[in-house]
Amino acid sequence: MAAASTVPGLDTAHLEEHGWAIVRGVVDPGVCARACRCIDDILGPAVHTVQADGRGQSDEALEATGSRWPDPEGLPLISSGGPWRTKVMHPIRDSVTAELVAPLAPLFAELYRCERPQDLKLLQHMFTRTDALPPTESAAATDSSSPSWHLDDAFLEEHRTSTPMQMYYHSMLALSPVRANGAPYLVCPHSMRRAREIVRGLGDAEDLFDPGEGRTVLPALILPRIPKEEGPPHEIYLEQGDLLIHDPMLTHSASDNLGAVPSRHVVFSTFFDASAIGRTLVGLRNRMAAAPPSKFPRELREALPQEWRSLLEWELPLQDESRAQSLAEQSRILSAGVTSMEEKGRAEAEPAAEGAQGGSSSSSSSRKHDGAPRL
């Protein structure tokens, strides 16, 4: 196994165990405030309805058509992420975007154990503004809001332990404070441990799918097997300039802005090591895959320090339709394989279930603590 990374200010042990960690004060508050103004200029003032029409294609539309990102000289991509939540993606033609990328790059190069800084690549840079719900909506939301739990992606253990890392982390940089009732990011405690147990438990099933694109079926397989009853969601609060790094295998959800701040601005960035191209970075069918690096505009490219311009030089193989169909079939086979492994595990554990609590202190796995084994 590779030695763990050490990154100043980052609790990598916490990241490994819980799937998230915060690095405080990564970007200067003045830069954050300028980035907020840039987004407000694009979207208009934070009001109770944001019009996303006519200013670019939505990322869902890009996914559906498989079409490429809008011309980098054109307008930013804007789409709605639910009521009062708006996503803005490149091309954002403001040099402040470079000031949000440059402080993060050395941190990710170290975290991924990149051989050379030039190997680090920027996959996405997505701004989200979550405006306060109007009071009438806010009252209803406290009664009925249900988090939309999901995983963004999943990796095998070997993708984490390889040097350089063949997985990526997402990050969320707070451009404004993120507080209680101000759209905090919600995470499901213990979900990371569960997700990794499931992936480790695949063991024999691993050869059912190829280690590259087949991996993209994993999130759909993992999510239904993660219990939600293990405690209330954990809310993550950030000060302006703080960076949250989160594992895409962590079950999480956005939340509404119930009025603690007029609008919550964050930028999601995703970096990866170039050696993952064609290995784990294949077959992506989300907003990141639809976007070529040329989506990043001249303003970002030119404002990046010379040594980090290579962040924007990469190309991902696109997935064709027949490949997508064969992946759907693999997903079905894999799912069936895991279900039968679960059944087998349950049958084996049944006779021992009574004594499992008492005998679990030394070598028993955490699965046995529950009495009911789960993959």
Ligand X SMILES: O=C(O)CCC(=O)C(=O)O
> Between residues 152 and 256, which has the closer beta carbon with respect to Fe ion?
152
> Between residues 162 and 269, which has the closer beta carbon with respect to ligand X?
269
By CB under 6 A, name the one of 5, 79, 97, 128 that touches ligand X: 128
Least distance in angstroms from the C-beta of 323 to Fe ion: 24
Query: Could you give the CA distance from residue 331 to residue 280 in angstroms, rounded to a whole number?
Result: 16
> Between residues 185 and 209, which has the closer beta carbon with respect to ligand X?
185
Burial class (CB in 10 A: 0-12, 13-18, 19+), 180: exposed
Q: Map residue 280 onto helix, strand or coil.
A: coil
Interaction between residue 90 and ligand X (CB under 6 A): no
> Between residues 267 and 375, which has the closer beta carbon with respect to ligand X?
267
Sign of CA dihedral 364, 366, 372, 375: negative
134-137 CB contacts, 8 Å cutoff, 24+ apart: 134/48, 135/259, 137/83, 137/84
Q: Map residue 330 onto helix, strand or coil.
A: helix
By CB under 6 A, name the one of 254, 261, 291, 338 that touches ligand X: 254
User: Among all residues, whose Cβ is closest to ligand X?
Assistant: 254
Partner whose footprint covers residue 246, from ligand X, Fe ion, none (CB < 5 to 8 Å by kind): none
Least distance in angstroms from the C-beta of 295 to Fe ion: 20
Least distance in angstroms from the C-beta of 245 to ligand X: 14
> Between residues 171 and 280, which has the closer beta carbon with respect to ligand X?
171
Token digits of residue 83:
């009521």
Indicate the residue type of 118. Answer: Q
Element (H, E) at 263: strand 263-273
Least distance in angstroms from the C-beta of 23 to ligand X: 17
Judge contact between 367 and 373, C-beta under 8 A.
yes
Least distance in angstroms from the C-beta of 152 to ligand X: 5
Partner whose footprint covers residue 38, from ligand X, Fe ion, none (CB < 5 to 8 Å by kind): none
**Under rule CB under 6 A, which residues in 151-210 are in contact with ligand X?**
152, 185
Q: How crowded is residue 105: how many other Cβ atoms within 10 Å of its Cβ? A: 22
Contacting residues for 10 by C-beta, under 8 A, at least 6 apart:
21, 23, 107, 111, 245
Partner whose footprint covers residue 69, from Fe ion, ligand X, none (CB < 5 to 8 Å by kind): none
Query: Could you give the CA distance from residue 298 to residue 73 in angstroms, rounded to a whole number?
Result: 8
> Between residues 32 and 254, which has the closer beta carbon with respect to ligand X?
254
H helix intervals, the chain? 12-18, 29-43, 59-65, 96-101, 105-111, 135-144, 157-161, 191-201, 218-222, 298-303, 321-349, 353-356, 366-369
- Size of residue set near ligand X by CB under 6 A: 5
By C-alpha distance, which of 275, 285, 155 is closest to 209?
155
Which residues contribute to the site for Fe ion (CB under 5 A)? 152
> Between residues 128 and 176, which has the closer beta carbon with respect to Fe ion?
128
Partner whose footprint covers residue 156, from Fe ion, ligand X, none (CB < 5 to 8 Å by kind): none
By CB under 6 A, name the one of 252, 301, 367, 368 that touches ligand X: 252
SS3 sequence of 97-132: HHHHHCCCHHHHHHHCCCCCHHHEEEEEEEEEEEEC
* DSSP string for residues in 44-93: -S--S----TTSS--HHHHHHHTPPPPPTTSPPEEEE-STTEEEEES---
> Between residues 109 and 250, which has the closer beta carbon with respect to ligand X?
250
Least distance in angstroms from the C-beta of 322 to ligand X: 28
Partner whose footprint covers residue 254, from ligand X, Fe ion, none (CB < 5 to 8 Å by kind): ligand X
Least distance in angstroms from the C-beta of 343 to Fe ion: 31
> Between residues 18 and 252, which has the closer beta carbon with respect to ligand X?
252
Q: For binding to ligand X (CB under 6 A), which residues are involved? A: 128, 152, 185, 252, 254
